[in-house]
Chain A
Amino acid sequence: MNKVNNNDPRFSIINKRLEKINRIIVVLSGKGGVGKSLIATISSLILSKKSKVGLLDLDFQNPSCHTILGFFNGKPIENKGVIPPIVHGIKFMSIVYYSGEKPIPLRGGEITDTIIEIFTIVKWNSLNYLFIDMPPGIGDEVLDIIKLVKNCEILIVTTSSKLAIETFKKVIEMLKISNVKILGVIENMKRGREKNVIKLAEKYGIRYLGYLQFDYKIEKYLSNPSKLLKTNFSKKLEKILLKIIQ
Protein backbone atom coordinates (compact mmCIF):
# COMPACT_ATOMS: atom_id res chain seq x y z
CA MET A 1 0.00 0.00 0.00
CA ASN A 2 1.50 3.35 -0.99
CA LYS A 3 0.52 6.61 0.61
CA VAL A 4 0.36 9.14 -2.20
CA ASN A 5 2.09 12.49 -2.14
CA ASN A 6 0.95 15.54 -4.13
CA ASN A 7 -2.31 13.70 -4.47
CA ASP A 8 -4.85 16.12 -5.95
CA PRO A 9 -5.96 14.29 -9.10
CA ARG A 10 -7.40 17.38 -10.77
CA PHE A 11 -4.03 18.56 -12.06
CA SER A 12 -3.66 15.49 -14.22
CA ILE A 13 -6.75 16.25 -16.31
CA ILE A 14 -6.40 19.98 -16.98
CA ASN A 15 -4.18 19.77 -20.02
CA LYS A 16 -6.27 16.93 -21.41
CA ARG A 17 -9.33 19.16 -21.12
CA LEU A 18 -7.54 21.80 -23.19
CA GLU A 19 -5.80 19.57 -25.71
CA LYS A 20 -8.36 20.11 -28.47
CA ILE A 21 -8.04 23.88 -28.32
CA ASN A 22 -5.72 25.30 -30.95
CA ARG A 23 -4.97 28.61 -29.27
CA ILE A 24 -5.60 29.90 -25.76
CA ILE A 25 -5.42 33.68 -25.61
CA VAL A 26 -5.25 35.22 -22.15
CA VAL A 27 -6.38 38.86 -22.08
CA LEU A 28 -4.87 40.77 -19.19
CA SER A 29 -3.91 44.19 -17.94
CA GLY A 30 -2.26 45.67 -14.90
CA LYS A 31 -5.01 48.18 -14.28
CA GLY A 32 -8.74 47.67 -14.10
CA GLY A 33 -11.15 49.55 -16.34
CA VAL A 34 -8.98 49.55 -19.46
CA GLY A 35 -11.44 47.51 -21.55
CA LYS A 36 -10.04 44.04 -21.13
CA SER A 37 -13.40 42.27 -20.85
CA LEU A 38 -14.77 44.20 -23.80
CA ILE A 39 -11.80 43.26 -25.96
CA ALA A 40 -11.93 39.60 -24.87
CA THR A 41 -15.66 39.37 -25.51
CA ILE A 42 -15.81 41.26 -28.80
CA SER A 43 -12.74 39.41 -30.07
CA SER A 44 -14.61 36.17 -29.32
CA LEU A 45 -17.69 37.42 -31.16
CA ILE A 46 -15.65 38.52 -34.19
CA LEU A 47 -13.70 35.27 -34.50
CA SER A 48 -16.78 33.12 -33.90
CA LYS A 49 -18.11 34.19 -37.31
CA LYS A 50 -15.57 31.87 -38.95
CA SER A 51 -14.15 29.73 -36.13
CA LYS A 52 -15.10 27.74 -33.05
CA VAL A 53 -14.52 30.05 -30.10
CA GLY A 54 -14.77 29.77 -26.32
CA LEU A 55 -14.76 32.56 -23.76
CA LEU A 56 -13.92 32.04 -20.10
CA ASP A 57 -14.50 34.88 -17.65
CA LEU A 58 -11.99 34.36 -14.83
CA ASP A 59 -12.65 37.68 -13.12
CA PHE A 60 -14.39 36.26 -10.06
CA GLN A 61 -14.72 39.58 -8.25
CA ASN A 62 -16.15 41.53 -11.16
CA PRO A 63 -17.34 39.20 -13.89
CA SER A 64 -18.67 41.26 -16.77
CA CYS A 65 -18.49 39.27 -20.01
CA HIS A 66 -22.07 38.06 -19.46
CA THR A 67 -23.22 41.69 -19.28
CA ILE A 68 -21.44 42.53 -22.53
CA LEU A 69 -23.09 39.50 -24.13
CA GLY A 70 -26.48 40.25 -22.56
CA PHE A 71 -26.64 36.72 -21.17
CA PHE A 72 -28.22 36.67 -17.74
CA ASN A 73 -30.29 33.53 -17.30
CA GLY A 74 -28.40 30.67 -18.88
CA LYS A 75 -26.77 27.66 -17.30
CA PRO A 76 -24.24 25.09 -18.47
CA ILE A 77 -25.44 21.62 -19.39
CA GLU A 78 -24.23 18.66 -17.36
CA ASN A 79 -23.08 15.77 -19.46
CA LYS A 80 -20.25 13.84 -17.80
CA GLY A 81 -18.84 17.25 -16.99
CA VAL A 82 -19.92 20.84 -17.46
CA ILE A 83 -20.66 21.94 -21.02
CA PRO A 84 -20.72 25.73 -21.42
CA PRO A 85 -23.79 27.12 -23.17
CA ILE A 86 -23.36 28.61 -26.63
CA VAL A 87 -24.05 32.33 -26.46
CA HIS A 88 -24.10 34.30 -29.73
CA GLY A 89 -21.97 31.57 -31.28
CA ILE A 90 -19.46 31.41 -28.40
CA LYS A 91 -19.03 28.64 -25.82
CA PHE A 92 -19.23 30.87 -22.79
CA MET A 93 -18.25 30.00 -19.22
CA SER A 94 -18.51 32.25 -16.19
CA ILE A 95 -18.75 31.87 -12.43
CA VAL A 96 -21.97 33.92 -12.50
CA TYR A 97 -23.81 30.74 -13.51
CA TYR A 98 -23.24 29.66 -9.90
CA SER A 99 -22.87 32.86 -7.89
CA GLY A 100 -25.65 34.81 -9.60
CA GLU A 101 -25.60 38.44 -8.50
CA LYS A 102 -23.88 37.63 -5.20
CA PRO A 103 -20.27 38.65 -4.44
CA ILE A 104 -17.66 35.92 -4.06
CA PRO A 105 -15.20 36.95 -1.31
CA LEU A 106 -12.30 34.62 -2.07
CA ARG A 107 -8.73 34.71 -0.79
CA GLY A 108 -5.60 33.59 -2.67
CA GLY A 109 -5.66 29.83 -2.18
CA GLU A 110 -9.39 29.71 -2.75
CA ILE A 111 -9.01 31.58 -6.04
CA THR A 112 -6.48 28.99 -7.16
CA ASP A 113 -8.76 26.13 -6.13
CA THR A 114 -11.68 27.68 -8.00
CA ILE A 115 -9.60 28.03 -11.16
CA ILE A 116 -8.42 24.41 -10.89
CA GLU A 117 -12.00 23.25 -10.36
CA ILE A 118 -13.28 25.12 -13.41
CA PHE A 119 -10.55 23.70 -15.62
CA THR A 120 -11.25 20.21 -14.22
CA ILE A 121 -15.00 20.11 -14.75
CA VAL A 122 -15.52 22.22 -17.89
CA LYS A 123 -15.43 20.34 -21.16
CA TRP A 124 -14.65 22.69 -24.03
CA ASN A 125 -13.99 19.95 -26.58
CA SER A 126 -12.58 21.25 -29.84
CA LEU A 127 -12.09 24.98 -30.32
CA ASN A 128 -9.99 27.13 -32.59
CA TYR A 129 -9.67 29.82 -29.94
CA LEU A 130 -10.32 30.11 -26.24
CA PHE A 131 -10.21 33.65 -24.86
CA ILE A 132 -9.68 33.99 -21.12
CA ASP A 133 -10.71 37.30 -19.59
CA MET A 134 -8.55 37.89 -16.53
CA PRO A 135 -9.08 40.15 -13.53
CA PRO A 136 -6.81 43.21 -13.45
CA GLY A 137 -3.36 42.87 -11.95
CA ILE A 138 -0.63 40.28 -11.81
CA GLY A 139 -1.87 38.33 -8.82
CA ASP A 140 -2.99 34.79 -8.18
CA GLU A 141 -5.12 34.32 -11.26
CA VAL A 142 -2.39 35.30 -13.70
CA LEU A 143 0.24 33.19 -11.94
CA ASP A 144 -2.16 30.24 -11.87
CA ILE A 145 -2.99 30.48 -15.55
CA ILE A 146 0.65 30.68 -16.56
CA LYS A 147 1.34 27.62 -14.40
CA LEU A 148 -1.71 25.56 -15.36
CA VAL A 149 -2.29 26.34 -19.04
CA LYS A 150 0.63 25.27 -21.13
CA ASN A 151 1.14 27.20 -24.37
CA CYS A 152 -1.16 30.04 -23.45
CA GLU A 153 -0.55 33.32 -25.26
CA ILE A 154 -0.88 36.69 -23.57
CA LEU A 155 -2.66 39.68 -25.04
CA ILE A 156 -2.02 42.81 -22.98
CA VAL A 157 -4.49 45.69 -22.89
CA THR A 158 -3.59 49.13 -21.61
CA THR A 159 -4.48 52.76 -21.99
CA SER A 160 -1.97 55.57 -22.34
CA SER A 161 -2.89 56.99 -18.93
CA LYS A 162 0.09 57.45 -16.62
CA LEU A 163 -1.76 55.30 -14.09
CA ALA A 164 -2.07 52.40 -16.51
CA ILE A 165 1.41 52.78 -17.97
CA GLU A 166 3.10 52.16 -14.64
CA THR A 167 1.39 48.82 -14.24
CA PHE A 168 1.88 48.03 -17.93
CA LYS A 169 5.64 48.04 -17.29
CA LYS A 170 5.25 45.70 -14.32
CA VAL A 171 3.06 43.32 -16.32
CA ILE A 172 5.63 43.09 -19.11
CA GLU A 173 8.49 42.54 -16.69
CA MET A 174 6.62 39.79 -14.88
CA LEU A 175 5.60 38.07 -18.10
CA LYS A 176 9.14 38.21 -19.45
CA ILE A 177 10.44 36.54 -16.29
CA SER A 178 7.69 33.92 -16.58
CA ASN A 179 8.85 33.08 -20.10
CA VAL A 180 5.32 33.04 -21.51
CA LYS A 181 4.45 33.97 -25.10
CA ILE A 182 3.28 37.58 -25.41
CA LEU A 183 1.22 38.29 -28.52
CA GLY A 184 1.47 42.04 -28.05
CA VAL A 185 -0.32 45.02 -26.63
CA ILE A 186 -3.52 46.78 -27.64
CA GLU A 187 -3.80 50.41 -26.65
CA ASN A 188 -7.41 51.09 -25.75
CA MET A 189 -9.48 54.25 -25.21
CA LYS A 190 -7.07 56.37 -27.21
CA ARG A 191 -8.08 60.02 -27.23
CA GLY A 192 -5.03 61.96 -28.42
CA ARG A 193 -1.70 61.37 -30.11
CA GLU A 194 0.24 59.99 -27.15
CA LYS A 195 3.10 57.72 -28.11
CA ASN A 196 3.99 56.38 -24.67
CA VAL A 197 2.49 52.92 -25.22
CA ILE A 198 4.27 52.51 -28.56
CA LYS A 199 7.56 53.63 -27.04
CA LEU A 200 7.26 51.26 -24.10
CA ALA A 201 6.32 48.37 -26.35
CA GLU A 202 9.43 49.06 -28.44
CA LYS A 203 11.60 49.38 -25.35
CA TYR A 204 10.48 45.99 -24.02
CA GLY A 205 10.38 44.26 -27.40
CA ILE A 206 6.62 43.75 -27.31
CA ARG A 207 4.55 43.97 -30.47
CA TYR A 208 2.32 47.05 -30.59
CA LEU A 209 -0.78 45.63 -32.23
CA GLY A 210 -2.67 48.88 -32.62
CA TYR A 211 -5.00 51.25 -30.88
CA LEU A 212 -8.74 51.52 -30.33
CA GLN A 213 -10.22 54.96 -29.96
CA PHE A 214 -12.63 55.79 -27.20
CA ASP A 215 -16.05 54.90 -28.61
CA TYR A 216 -19.05 56.47 -26.91
CA LYS A 217 -21.44 54.04 -28.60
CA ILE A 218 -20.01 51.07 -26.70
CA GLU A 219 -21.80 51.85 -23.44
CA LYS A 220 -25.11 52.22 -25.24
CA TYR A 221 -24.75 48.87 -27.00
CA LEU A 222 -23.59 46.75 -24.05
CA SER A 223 -25.70 43.57 -23.86
CA ASN A 224 -26.46 43.90 -27.57
CA PRO A 225 -23.75 41.95 -29.42
CA SER A 226 -25.12 42.53 -32.92
CA LYS A 227 -24.99 46.31 -32.38
CA LEU A 228 -21.60 46.07 -30.67
CA LEU A 229 -20.18 44.32 -33.72
CA LYS A 230 -21.22 47.26 -35.91
CA THR A 231 -19.29 49.86 -33.93
CA ASN A 232 -16.04 51.42 -35.14
CA PHE A 233 -14.43 49.84 -32.08
CA SER A 234 -15.27 46.33 -33.31
CA LYS A 235 -14.26 47.08 -36.91
CA LYS A 236 -10.88 48.32 -35.78
CA LEU A 237 -10.48 45.40 -33.37
CA GLU A 238 -11.18 42.99 -36.21
CA LYS A 239 -8.21 44.44 -38.12
CA ILE A 240 -5.99 44.14 -35.04
CA LEU A 241 -7.05 40.50 -34.56
CA LEU A 242 -5.87 39.68 -38.07
CA LYS A 243 -2.34 40.41 -36.86
CA ILE A 244 -2.75 37.84 -34.11
CA ILE A 245 -4.45 35.04 -35.98
CA GLN A 246 -2.47 35.14 -39.23
Chain B
Amino acid sequence: MTAPAIPAAPIHARRPWVVHSILPGFGLSLGITLAYLGAIVVLPLVALAIRPWELGLDGVWRALTAPRVAAALRLSFGLSALAALLNAPLGMLLAWTLTRYEFPGRRILDALVDLPFALPTAVAGIALTAIYAPNGPLGSLAAKLGLKTAYSPLGIFIALVFIGLPFVVRSLQPVLQELDREVEEAATTLGANALQRAVRVILPALAPALISGISLAFARAVGEYGSVVFIAGNLPGKTEIAPLLIVIKLEQYDYAGAAAVGLAMVVISFGSLAAINWLQLLLARRGKA
Protein backbone atom coordinates (compact mmCIF):
# COMPACT_ATOMS: atom_id res chain seq x y z
CA MET B 1 0.00 0.00 0.00
CA THR B 2 0.92 3.65 0.12
CA ALA B 3 3.98 4.49 2.12
CA PRO B 4 2.70 6.39 5.16
CA ALA B 5 3.46 10.08 5.08
CA ILE B 6 6.43 10.80 7.29
CA PRO B 7 5.08 13.07 10.04
CA ALA B 8 8.29 15.10 10.25
CA ALA B 9 8.21 15.94 6.54
CA PRO B 10 8.02 19.67 6.03
CA ILE B 11 4.81 20.96 4.53
CA HIS B 12 5.33 22.51 1.12
CA ALA B 13 5.61 26.27 1.47
CA ARG B 14 3.58 27.23 -1.59
CA ARG B 15 1.29 24.19 -1.63
CA PRO B 16 0.17 23.46 1.93
CA TRP B 17 -1.95 20.52 0.72
CA VAL B 18 1.10 18.54 -0.46
CA VAL B 19 3.54 16.67 1.75
CA HIS B 20 7.03 17.68 0.64
CA SER B 21 8.99 15.15 -1.37
CA ILE B 22 12.38 15.33 -3.05
CA LEU B 23 10.94 13.78 -6.21
CA PRO B 24 10.36 16.23 -9.05
CA GLY B 25 7.45 16.53 -11.43
CA PHE B 26 4.52 16.81 -9.06
CA GLY B 27 3.16 19.99 -10.62
CA LEU B 28 3.66 18.72 -14.16
CA SER B 29 2.12 15.29 -13.63
CA LEU B 30 -0.81 16.60 -11.59
CA GLY B 31 -1.36 19.33 -14.17
CA ILE B 32 -1.50 16.83 -17.04
CA THR B 33 -3.75 14.53 -15.01
CA LEU B 34 -6.24 17.24 -14.07
CA ALA B 35 -6.36 18.82 -17.53
CA TYR B 36 -6.90 15.49 -19.28
CA LEU B 37 -9.37 14.25 -16.67
CA GLY B 38 -11.26 17.53 -16.89
CA ALA B 39 -11.56 17.45 -20.66
CA ILE B 40 -12.30 13.74 -21.10
CA VAL B 41 -14.36 12.84 -18.01
CA VAL B 42 -15.53 15.87 -16.03
CA LEU B 43 -16.74 18.20 -18.80
CA PRO B 44 -18.78 15.48 -20.57
CA LEU B 45 -20.29 14.35 -17.27
CA VAL B 46 -21.26 17.91 -16.41
CA ALA B 47 -23.11 18.04 -19.73
CA LEU B 48 -24.88 14.79 -18.82
CA ALA B 49 -25.82 16.12 -15.41
CA ILE B 50 -27.17 19.47 -16.69
CA ARG B 51 -28.78 18.68 -20.03
CA PRO B 52 -31.89 16.77 -18.83
CA TRP B 53 -33.11 19.71 -16.70
CA GLU B 54 -34.01 21.86 -19.69
CA LEU B 55 -37.15 19.71 -19.63
CA GLY B 56 -37.89 20.95 -16.13
CA LEU B 57 -38.28 18.75 -13.10
CA ASP B 58 -41.63 17.29 -14.10
CA GLY B 59 -40.48 17.00 -17.72
CA VAL B 60 -37.65 14.72 -16.56
CA TRP B 61 -40.08 12.81 -14.36
CA ARG B 62 -42.49 12.37 -17.27
CA ALA B 63 -39.65 11.30 -19.59
CA LEU B 64 -38.51 8.63 -17.13
CA THR B 65 -41.96 7.32 -16.23
CA ALA B 66 -43.19 7.11 -19.82
CA PRO B 67 -44.25 3.46 -20.23
CA ARG B 68 -41.60 2.65 -22.82
CA VAL B 69 -38.74 4.16 -20.77
CA ALA B 70 -39.91 2.68 -17.48
CA ALA B 71 -40.21 -0.75 -19.09
CA ALA B 72 -36.68 -0.50 -20.53
CA LEU B 73 -35.20 0.56 -17.18
CA ARG B 74 -37.05 -2.24 -15.36
CA LEU B 75 -35.88 -4.78 -17.94
CA SER B 76 -32.23 -3.65 -17.84
CA PHE B 77 -31.94 -3.49 -14.06
CA GLY B 78 -34.08 -6.58 -13.37
CA LEU B 79 -32.36 -8.89 -15.83
CA SER B 80 -28.93 -7.60 -14.79
CA ALA B 81 -29.69 -8.45 -11.16
CA LEU B 82 -30.91 -11.94 -12.10
CA ALA B 83 -27.90 -12.57 -14.33
CA ALA B 84 -25.50 -11.39 -11.61
CA LEU B 85 -27.22 -13.74 -9.15
CA LEU B 86 -26.82 -16.73 -11.48
CA ASN B 87 -23.18 -15.73 -11.92
CA ALA B 88 -22.68 -16.36 -8.18
CA PRO B 89 -23.03 -20.19 -8.23
CA LEU B 90 -21.40 -20.48 -11.68
CA GLY B 91 -18.51 -18.28 -10.57
CA MET B 92 -18.07 -20.22 -7.32
CA LEU B 93 -18.02 -23.50 -9.22
CA LEU B 94 -15.36 -22.26 -11.66
CA ALA B 95 -13.24 -20.46 -9.07
CA TRP B 96 -13.30 -23.55 -6.83
CA THR B 97 -12.29 -26.04 -9.54
CA LEU B 98 -9.62 -23.71 -10.91
CA THR B 99 -7.97 -23.10 -7.52
CA ARG B 100 -8.48 -26.41 -5.75
CA TYR B 101 -7.98 -29.14 -8.35
CA GLU B 102 -5.12 -30.02 -10.62
CA PHE B 103 -6.36 -31.46 -13.89
CA PRO B 104 -5.22 -31.50 -17.51
CA GLY B 105 -6.19 -28.27 -19.26
CA ARG B 106 -6.65 -26.30 -16.05
CA ARG B 107 -4.50 -23.40 -17.20
CA ILE B 108 -6.31 -23.19 -20.52
CA LEU B 109 -9.66 -23.21 -18.76
CA ASP B 110 -8.34 -20.49 -16.46
CA ALA B 111 -7.26 -18.33 -19.39
CA LEU B 112 -10.61 -18.88 -21.13
CA VAL B 113 -12.44 -17.29 -18.21
CA ASP B 114 -11.30 -13.92 -19.59
CA LEU B 115 -12.71 -14.60 -23.04
CA PRO B 116 -15.91 -12.58 -22.44
CA PHE B 117 -13.64 -9.61 -21.63
CA ALA B 118 -11.40 -10.21 -24.62
CA LEU B 119 -14.10 -10.77 -27.24
CA PRO B 120 -15.39 -7.44 -28.60
CA THR B 121 -19.01 -7.03 -27.57
CA ALA B 122 -20.43 -6.86 -31.09
CA VAL B 123 -18.69 -10.14 -31.93
CA ALA B 124 -20.08 -11.81 -28.82
CA GLY B 125 -23.48 -10.35 -29.68
CA ILE B 126 -23.80 -11.80 -33.18
CA ALA B 127 -22.24 -15.12 -32.09
CA LEU B 128 -24.67 -15.53 -29.18
CA THR B 129 -27.54 -14.65 -31.50
CA ALA B 130 -26.43 -17.30 -34.02
CA ILE B 131 -26.23 -19.89 -31.22
CA TYR B 132 -29.57 -19.13 -29.62
CA ALA B 133 -31.60 -18.24 -32.73
CA PRO B 134 -34.42 -20.73 -33.42
CA ASN B 135 -32.21 -22.47 -36.03
CA GLY B 136 -28.99 -22.21 -33.97
CA PRO B 137 -27.34 -25.17 -32.20
CA LEU B 138 -28.67 -24.36 -28.71
CA GLY B 139 -31.66 -22.29 -29.80
CA SER B 140 -33.18 -25.21 -31.70
CA LEU B 141 -32.62 -27.43 -28.66
CA ALA B 142 -34.44 -24.94 -26.47
CA ALA B 143 -37.20 -24.61 -29.07
CA LYS B 144 -37.89 -28.33 -28.74
CA LEU B 145 -38.52 -27.70 -25.04
CA GLY B 146 -40.87 -24.89 -26.02
CA LEU B 147 -38.43 -22.16 -24.94
CA LYS B 148 -37.76 -19.06 -26.98
CA THR B 149 -34.18 -17.95 -26.31
CA ALA B 150 -33.03 -15.35 -28.86
CA TYR B 151 -35.29 -12.29 -29.31
CA SER B 152 -36.76 -12.77 -25.83
CA PRO B 153 -35.83 -11.67 -22.29
CA LEU B 154 -34.23 -15.11 -21.85
CA GLY B 155 -31.81 -14.30 -24.66
CA ILE B 156 -30.85 -11.00 -23.01
CA PHE B 157 -30.39 -12.87 -19.74
CA ILE B 158 -28.00 -15.39 -21.37
CA ALA B 159 -25.91 -12.59 -22.90
CA LEU B 160 -25.70 -10.84 -19.51
CA VAL B 161 -24.61 -14.06 -17.78
CA PHE B 162 -21.92 -14.45 -20.45
CA ILE B 163 -20.39 -11.01 -19.92
CA GLY B 164 -20.70 -11.05 -16.12
CA LEU B 165 -19.10 -14.42 -15.41
CA PRO B 166 -15.42 -13.34 -15.39
CA PHE B 167 -16.09 -10.65 -12.76
CA VAL B 168 -17.26 -13.19 -10.18
CA VAL B 169 -14.59 -15.80 -10.96
CA ARG B 170 -11.75 -13.26 -10.86
CA SER B 171 -13.02 -11.77 -7.59
CA LEU B 172 -13.17 -15.17 -5.88
CA GLN B 173 -9.97 -16.79 -7.14
CA PRO B 174 -7.39 -14.87 -5.07
CA VAL B 175 -9.45 -15.30 -1.89
CA LEU B 176 -9.84 -19.05 -2.43
CA GLN B 177 -6.13 -19.34 -3.13
CA GLU B 178 -5.17 -17.60 0.08
CA LEU B 179 -7.84 -19.17 2.27
CA ASP B 180 -6.02 -20.86 5.11
CA ARG B 181 -6.12 -24.61 4.55
CA GLU B 182 -5.37 -25.15 8.22
CA VAL B 183 -8.70 -23.66 9.20
CA GLU B 184 -10.46 -26.16 6.95
CA GLU B 185 -8.34 -28.98 8.34
CA ALA B 186 -9.09 -27.86 11.88
CA ALA B 187 -12.80 -27.93 11.08
CA THR B 188 -12.38 -31.45 9.73
CA THR B 189 -10.54 -32.71 12.81
CA LEU B 190 -13.28 -31.16 14.92
CA GLY B 191 -15.74 -33.35 13.07
CA ALA B 192 -17.18 -31.03 10.45
CA ASN B 193 -18.35 -32.79 7.32
CA ALA B 194 -17.85 -31.43 3.81
CA LEU B 195 -21.16 -29.54 3.76
CA GLN B 196 -20.53 -27.95 7.16
CA ARG B 197 -17.06 -26.91 6.07
CA ALA B 198 -18.44 -25.33 2.93
CA VAL B 199 -21.25 -23.43 4.65
CA ARG B 200 -19.59 -22.53 7.96
CA VAL B 201 -15.94 -22.05 7.02
CA ILE B 202 -15.48 -21.35 3.32
CA LEU B 203 -18.62 -19.38 2.43
CA PRO B 204 -18.23 -16.72 5.15
CA ALA B 205 -14.62 -16.15 4.07
CA LEU B 206 -15.74 -15.77 0.46
CA ALA B 207 -18.74 -13.53 1.12
CA PRO B 208 -17.09 -10.10 0.68
CA ALA B 209 -15.34 -11.10 -2.56
CA LEU B 210 -18.51 -12.76 -3.80
CA ILE B 211 -20.55 -9.63 -3.16
CA SER B 212 -18.06 -7.40 -4.91
CA GLY B 213 -17.87 -9.79 -7.86
CA ILE B 214 -21.66 -9.86 -8.15
CA SER B 215 -21.90 -6.08 -7.97
CA LEU B 216 -19.23 -5.65 -10.66
CA ALA B 217 -21.08 -8.10 -12.91
CA PHE B 218 -24.34 -6.24 -12.23
CA ALA B 219 -22.85 -2.82 -13.01
CA ARG B 220 -21.39 -4.10 -16.27
CA ALA B 221 -24.64 -5.82 -17.26
CA VAL B 222 -26.79 -2.73 -16.71
CA GLY B 223 -24.83 -0.70 -19.24
CA GLU B 224 -24.07 -3.50 -21.68
CA TYR B 225 -25.01 -2.79 -25.26
CA GLY B 226 -23.08 -4.68 -27.95
CA SER B 227 -23.52 -8.23 -26.75
CA VAL B 228 -27.20 -7.69 -25.94
CA VAL B 229 -28.58 -5.59 -28.75
CA PHE B 230 -28.42 -8.32 -31.42
CA ILE B 231 -30.00 -11.08 -29.35
CA ALA B 232 -32.62 -8.86 -27.72
CA GLY B 233 -35.15 -8.48 -30.53
CA ASN B 234 -35.63 -4.86 -29.42
CA LEU B 235 -39.42 -4.88 -29.16
CA PRO B 236 -40.54 -1.65 -27.43
CA GLY B 237 -41.79 -2.34 -23.92
CA LYS B 238 -40.83 -6.03 -24.13
CA THR B 239 -37.20 -6.63 -25.07
CA GLU B 240 -35.88 -3.10 -25.39
CA ILE B 241 -32.94 -2.36 -23.04
CA ALA B 242 -32.24 1.07 -21.56
CA PRO B 243 -28.99 1.75 -23.47
CA LEU B 244 -30.80 1.08 -26.76
CA LEU B 245 -33.46 3.61 -25.78
CA ILE B 246 -30.72 6.24 -25.44
CA VAL B 247 -29.58 5.46 -28.97
CA ILE B 248 -33.16 5.70 -30.28
CA LYS B 249 -33.79 9.02 -28.53
CA LEU B 250 -30.58 10.44 -29.99
CA GLU B 251 -31.63 9.35 -33.46
CA GLN B 252 -34.82 11.37 -32.91
CA TYR B 253 -32.68 14.35 -31.80
CA ASP B 254 -34.29 14.17 -28.34
CA TYR B 255 -31.00 15.06 -26.60
CA ALA B 256 -32.60 16.00 -23.29
CA GLY B 257 -34.65 12.80 -23.17
CA ALA B 258 -31.57 10.70 -24.00
CA ALA B 259 -29.58 12.53 -21.33
CA ALA B 260 -32.39 11.95 -18.80
CA VAL B 261 -32.27 8.17 -19.39
CA GLY B 262 -28.45 8.22 -19.31
CA LEU B 263 -28.38 10.21 -16.09
CA ALA B 264 -30.98 7.92 -14.50
CA MET B 265 -28.87 4.88 -15.40
CA VAL B 266 -25.73 6.42 -13.91
CA VAL B 267 -27.56 7.48 -10.74
CA ILE B 268 -29.32 4.13 -10.19
CA SER B 269 -26.09 2.20 -10.89
CA PHE B 270 -24.14 4.31 -8.45
CA GLY B 271 -26.92 4.07 -5.88
CA SER B 272 -26.96 0.29 -6.03
CA LEU B 273 -23.16 0.08 -5.91
CA ALA B 274 -23.14 2.37 -2.87
CA ALA B 275 -25.82 0.21 -1.21
CA ILE B 276 -23.77 -2.92 -1.88
CA ASN B 277 -20.65 -1.26 -0.46
CA TRP B 278 -22.60 -0.38 2.65
CA LEU B 279 -23.83 -3.98 2.95
CA GLN B 280 -20.26 -5.18 2.66
CA LEU B 281 -19.13 -2.81 5.38
CA LEU B 282 -21.91 -4.12 7.59
CA LEU B 283 -20.85 -7.72 6.91
CA ALA B 284 -17.22 -6.92 7.67
CA ARG B 285 -18.17 -5.28 10.96
CA ARG B 286 -20.27 -8.26 11.94
CA GLY B 287 -17.37 -10.57 11.12
CA LYS B 288 -15.20 -8.66 13.59
CA ALA B 289 -17.77 -8.46 16.38
* Chains A and B form a bound pair: no
Residues on A facing B (Cβ under 8 Å): none
Which residues does B use to contact A, with CB under 8 Å? none
